[in-house]
Amino acid sequence: MLNGDERKGQPVHVELTSEQVKLVNDWIEDGAYGSVQEVIAHALTRLVEDEIVAGHDQDELRASLRRSREQFDRGEGKPWDVDDFIARGEKRLAERSPTKARA
C-alpha cells in the first residue's frame, strides 16, 4: 500500500533497482520525459491501458482493426482535422457547462 496524502500532495517514496533508475534517468536525459513524475505517470497510464486491453477478446480486437483498415482501404474513411475536432469538443463542453445555465 502506498502511504501518501494526495490532498496535500505528500510525496510517496518508491525503491527502484539500479537498472530501473538508469532507464528513468536515460529517458529524462534524452528528453523523452521532463521528470521522474512524468515517467511514472506514463507507466501507470500504460498499465491501465494494458488492463483494459487484457479484459477484451484479442481476436475480436484484431478483427475490428482489420475491418476498419479494410473500410479505409476501400475509401470509406472520413478525413478529420485535429483543430476542428478540438473546437467541436470545446463547444460541446461549453454547452454542458453549469455556468452557461446560469447566464
The residues, any chain, with a CB within 8 Å of residue 35's CB and separated by 6 or more, are 28
pLDDT tens string 30-85: 999 999 999 999 999 999 888 887 878 888 888 998 999 999 899 988 777 888 88
The residues, any chain, with a CB within 8 Å of residue 94's CB and separated by 6 or more, are 100
Looking at residue 5, what is its pLDDT? 60
Residue whose entry in the numeric block shows the C-alpha cell 529524462: 28
| All cell numbers assigned to 11 | 510525496
* Contact call for residues 61 and 53 (beta carbons, < 8 A): yes
Q: How far apart are the first and last CA of the chain?
A: 46
For the chain, the structural domain boundaries read 18-95
Query: What residue type is 9 in one-letter code?
Result: G
Nearest CA to 40 among 20, 70, 67? 20
